[in-house]
Amino acid sequence: MNVFDYDKDSDGIVTVTMDMTGPVNAMNDEYRVAMDATLEKLEQEQGLTGVILASAKKVFFAGGDLNDLLAAAPGAEATFMAEGERVKAGLRRLEKLPVPVVAAINGAALGGGFEICLSCNYRVAVNDPAVQLGLPEVSLGLLPGGGGVVRMVNLLGLEKALPYLLEGTRVDAAHALAAGLVHEVVETRDQLLPAAKAWILAQQGVSEAALQPWDRKGFRLPGGNASSPHIAQLITVAPALLRKKTRGLLPAPEVILDCAVEAARLDLDTALRIESRGLTWLAMTPQAKNMISTFFFAMNRINRGGSRPADVPSRSVEKVGILGAGMMGQGIAYVSALAGIKVVLKDMSVEAAARGKAYSEQLLAKRVQRGKMTEEKKQQILELILPTDSNDDLAGCDLIVEAVFENLALKQSITRETEPQLAADGIWGSNTSTLPISELATASAAPEKFIGIHFFSPVDKMPLVEIICGDKTSEETLARAYDYARQIRKTPIVVNDSLGFFTSRTFGTYLDEGVRMLREGLHPVQIEAMGRAVGMPVGPLAVYDEVSLELTRKAQETWREMGVLDKFSDSTVTREVINTMVEQHGRGGRYHGGGFYEYAEDGSKHIWPGLMDLYYNADVTVSEGDMRDRLLFRQVIEALRCLETGVLRTVDDGNIGSIMGIGAPVWTGGLIQFVNTYGVERFVRRCEALAATYGERFAPPAIAREKLAAGELFE
């Protein structure tokens, strides 16, 4: 089978339609063979007037084969680079054909797909939401190695190219046209080929029509080359700004910046070779392995239903009841209405419920202001939300989500009161971050229809939902909760019941270790710095202030009443510090006026001076390497224990959940994936060393020793 269909019309225009054997067109061995053969034929073609590259797939071209990139191993750099250079040589041959070449873009062209487009003289795209253009390789720890860095710099200039390269910015057809990434936009797919042919025919007799801008005599880089004053200044400050953002933990952005700067200094072909070296080096790094494994393969498995019961038919939620119009409830109402679901938002009073609806109105108004939504659409969405204080309005809901305070008795009381309003086949979801679902479900008349649906704050921004199955939760209920999460455009992970589940339980170890260090006498500023240095969004003490020390203290009272305090919080040190801060000094956290930090009216904050008097001891020293590992390894060990005890059902759920739910360092690819590239044996030995110095909480979990003995990775 010829995967590149070759068709020459009476005008001498050849249309090459890419239709590879897989579900998408990708830069693999099949592509390399097909492209080489097609180029050879085009170079020998008589009477050729132009070439159109088109796609028979819904996606124009998906990019590089990530299986090949994941398999690349140190020692094979020469082979890897040679294959990359072969691909680039083909694209260089394409843009040096003596006739105009057009990319007819019918769908997404990301990464290698867009690099093919950049190698064409003219790019025409259809105005369709499915068309997404860009170079997102940085999000996988890589760089655009098919000429993307070099051609983007030559096309847009260094300054305008950098956001696309360093941030992986994706744009639709209209924005691509405005930015100069495509030359023409048509309204329907049927217009693509006629538009491409019309442009080619209009170029007959135009001497430079077949030349790329950078191959034309006298070409000047847009915005100036590396020696121009403005660009020289940009090159001077960019590395420091980038380092501040990546903290030195992500090599891809730094290598991309280096290659982009070289593209602004050197001739095209030399810059292309430097780009190839950059990709070769990055492909061998553990950061790239981690990010490819999790952000592509694991994410695709989960979003395709990897954690969903396969034999349960899919079903959408039509009417959802949300109990509690506070911070969480109002966010759940917003994302549900945005997905077209009828929402009943109930609180103790209509006024309180209306304030919850007002949150959606504020967010939608911002969309209208930014031109991303019409006023008419905004009103249609708002009409889906009914604020109420009446249980009767909940009648017929196929899902009710309870989102009140973390109080067992309160949640159970609300369940008994409002569960009868569910539709006959409706299900109940409790938005809780710590309370066991099986215990909450004892108040339900149908515990098989009871499930945990843990949202993260702010709901409108956080992409994850943690679905928790109780002892009696049915597979059908799980499937319906999973479908609801996908319906509201969230990524769901599925875990089994326990106090704190996976995310809260694991994240709690980060906070606990930070407080332990504080109690040992380490400087609080250094503790916070080490948290950021390992890749966490903020330090553990700052997080504790946001979570609220007062709320933690109250939660501990609830756990004590349930008789499970020691199971969830085995740190008497942390309890002591929290109680001291709240009860003796009135430091309940940011919401309560201040905790570990003091907060100024201008939004700035600094460590509360009293903290130094209470805990800092200048005679205590711990190496920064140990501090970083303590903050990271505590979380990794807890994640492994969740996997070991069956709280986590899959490694994918653990990795995606830790990244998207608790802000685990991106470079790790998730707390469990981190062990794979760190090395299982090395991990076990490091845990043993930490345990010998700092305590048994660092002892390597049995599952790690088992993987080591079997010579296996966590997959």
In a domain, 698, yes or no: yes
Average pLDDT over residues 384-394: 97
> Three-state SS across 678-711?
HCHHHHHHHHHHHHHHHCHHHCCCHHHHHHHHHC
CA distance 254 to 260: 10
423 neighbors 398 (Cβ within 8 angstroms): yes
In a domain, 314, yes or no: no
pLDDT above 70 (res 566): no
pLDDT above 80 (res 446): yes
Say how many residues make up the chain. Answer: 715
- Helix, strand, coil shares of the chain, percent, nearest 5, are 55, 15, 35
In a domain, 305, yes or no: no
Question: In the structure encoding, which two tokens stand for residue 598, read together?
Answer: 């003091």
In a domain, 296, yes or no: no
Q: Which of 356, 134, 148, 370 is nearest to 268 (CA)?
A: 148
Pair 342, 479 in one domain:
yes
Q: Which value, in Å, is the radius of gyration of the alpha carbons in the chain?
A: 28
Last residue in a domain, options 498, 516, 544:
498
pLDDT above 90 (res 571): no
User: Using 50, 70 and 90 to split pLDDT, how confident is the model at 502?
Assistant: very high
Q: Which of 369, 347, 466 is nearest to 414 (CA)?
A: 347
In a domain, 381, yes or no: yes
Q: How confident is the model over 673-702, as pLDDT tens digits?
A: 999 999 999 999 999 999 999 999 999 999
Average pLDDT over residues 363-368: 96
The residue from 137, 275, 419, 528 that is catalytic is 137
Pair 490, 600 in one domain:
no
460 neighbors 366 (Cβ within 8 angstroms): no
CA distance 258 to 238: 10
341 neighbors 487 (Cβ within 8 angstroms): yes
Range of the domain at 165: 4-284
pLDDT above 90 (res 8): yes
Q: Order across the sheet with 13-18: list the strands.
A: 4-8, 13-18, 50-55, 101-105, 122-126, 184-186
User: Using 50, 70 and 90 to split pLDDT, how confident is the model at 572?
Assistant: confident
In a domain, 304, yes or no: no
Q: How confident is the model over 263-321, as pLDDT tens digits?
A: 999 999 999 999 999 999 999 999 999 999 999 999 999 999 999 999 999 999 999 99
The CATH number assigned to the domain holding 396 equals: 3.40.50.720
CA distances from 560 to 115, 165, 503, 539, 557 (A): 59, 51, 21, 28, 5
Long-range contacts: 581-585, Cβ < 8 Å, 24+? 581/549, 582/549, 582/550, 582/553, 583/553, 585/610
Average pLDDT over residues 547-556: 82
Pair 403, 531 in one domain:
no
Pair 434, 534 in one domain:
no
Pair 270, 369 in one domain:
no
Q: Write down the pLDDT at residue 434.
A: 85
Q: Write down the pLDDT at residue 1.
A: 54
pLDDT above 60 (res 104): yes
Pair 491, 518 in one domain:
no
CA distance 211 to 98: 8
3-class secondary structure, 185: strand
pLDDT above 90 (res 556): no
Pair 544, 492 in one domain:
no
Q: How confident is the model over 234-253, as pLDDT tens digits?
A: 999 999 999 999 999 999 99
CA distance 464 to 307: 14
Range with lowest mean pLDDT among 44-58, 378-392, 568-582: 568-582
Is 137 marked active-site?
yes
β-pair partners for 319: 342
Last residue in a domain, options 483, 498, 513:
498
CA distance 576 to 557: 13
Q: How confident is the model over 370-387, as pLDDT tens digits?
A: 988 999 999 999 999 999
Peptide bond into 458 cis (omega under 30): yes
In a domain, 654, yes or no: yes
CA distance 471 to 646: 12
Pair 477, 518 in one domain:
no
The residue from 83, 95, 115, 275 that is catalytic is 115
Q: Is 396 exposed, middle or buried (0-12, 13-18, 19+ CB in 10 A)?
A: middle
The CATH number assigned to the domain holding 120 equals: 3.90.226.10
Last residue in a domain, options 241, 268, 284:
284
The type of residue at 187 is E
Q: Write down the pLDDT at residue 559.
A: 66
% of residues, the chain, pLDDT over 70: 98
CA distances from 259 to 140, 344, 510, 679 (A): 17, 53, 37, 30
pLDDT above 90 (res 574): no
In a domain, 312, yes or no: no
The type of residue at 13 is I
pLDDT above 70 (res 565): no
Is 439 marked active-site?
no
Task: Kindly state the DSSP code that residue 256 receives in the 8-state scheme.
Answer: H
Q: Write down the pLDDT at residue 564.
A: 59
Pair 552, 423 in one domain:
no
The CATH number assigned to the domain holding 619 equals: 1.10.1040.50
To the nearest 10 degrees (0 to 180), the angle between helices 251-263 and 158-166 is 160
Task: Kindly state the DSSP code that residue 589 receives in the 8-state scheme.
Answer: B
Residue with tokens 């305070």, as numbered in its chain: 405
Pair 336, 260 in one domain:
no
Q: Write down the pLDDT at residue 68.
A: 87
Please give the tally of structural domains in the chain: 3
Q: How confident is the model over 166-205, as pLDDT tens digits?
A: 999 999 999 999 999 999 999 999 999 999 999 999 999 8
Q: Is 416 exposed, middle or buried (0-12, 13-18, 19+ CB in 10 A)?
A: exposed
Pair 159, 222 in one domain:
yes
Pair 474, 575 in one domain:
no
